[in-house]
Structure 1
């Protein structure tokens, strides 16, 4: 097997599956003294109900360019790839639920873990991201 074929055989699947959404459905905090902290991956209908409840903070972790193409109304923006991401999430109130999303759910899954590790208690991740949100006909702003 040539080097080129070996590269394709071993690395292409890694790159493809490495960018897919995390399969963890529910992630509880590692701190056993705080059993009320969790991450829950939810579908678009459940996410919309949570957003409509007004009890939490909607957090978009996509790039500014992606956000400009359309975002969930009243979403806070904190690009997970930017240096100021941690600073931005530190400014959010920890006593509220956080409804986090990205394009397909992979970055928001990463962000959800970061939020949990930084003292947020109830974090909901939109499975399928804004793609699933718009597929269901839910509103976006530009």
Structure 2
């Protein structure tokens, strides 16, 4: 009886060691290293925003309403209204790998838009954290 118990115990220990070594080996084989790309998302005042636009090319996005956009906007800006229910879908017209300059009337909607763009995988986003009227008063380019 003791001998049978010893054989069963010995067999159990050997089986357990084998199973653990197989599990460890499988884990090692399936381990994958994932690197997350970092997003650059910065709030800039009016002067910084203009200087950044001059120093690098990018997509300019006005997230105000179409009515606000029609009163005047930054040249070459596209209007993607944050309040439009299709806002996220409309962002698909942009290239997430290219720099985005986003603005609105006060910096509030553009901050929200920047957060959505970050979640959607945009790489570089600069937000005009200021009033569009400040842009106009400082004499930066505006078109209708």
Q: TM-score range by the shorter chain?
A: 0.7 to 0.9
User: What is the distance in 2 between the residues matched to 1:115 and 1:77?
Assistant: 15
* Partner of residue 107 from structure 2, selected from 98, 101, 105: 105
1:97-122 deviation per Cα after TM superposition (whole angstroms, max 9, x unaligned) = 11000001000000000000001011
Larger Rg: 2
1:33 deviates by: 4.2
TM-score calculated relative to the size of structure 1:
0.72
Q: Which runs of 5+ in 2 are unaligned?
A: 1-33
Q: How many residues end up aligned between the 2 structures?
A: 111
Q: Which runs of 5+ in 1 are unaligned?
A: 1-31
1:81-132 deviation per Cα after TM superposition (whole angstroms, max 9, x unaligned) = 0122111111210111110000010000000000000010111110113122
User: What is the distance in 2 between the residues matched to 1:52 and 1:75?
Assistant: 14
TM-score calculated relative to the size of structure 2:
0.71
User: What is the distance in 2 between the residues matched to 1:51 and 1:102?
Assistant: 16
1:44 pairs with 2:46: yes
Segments ≥4 residues shifted beyond 4 Å: none
User: What is the distance in 2 between the residues matched to 1:113 and 1:92?
Assistant: 15
User: What is the distance in 2 between the residues matched to 1:84 and 1:111?
Assistant: 13
Alignment of 1:23-102 (within 5 A): 33-34=35-36, 36-102=38-104
RMSD: 1.6
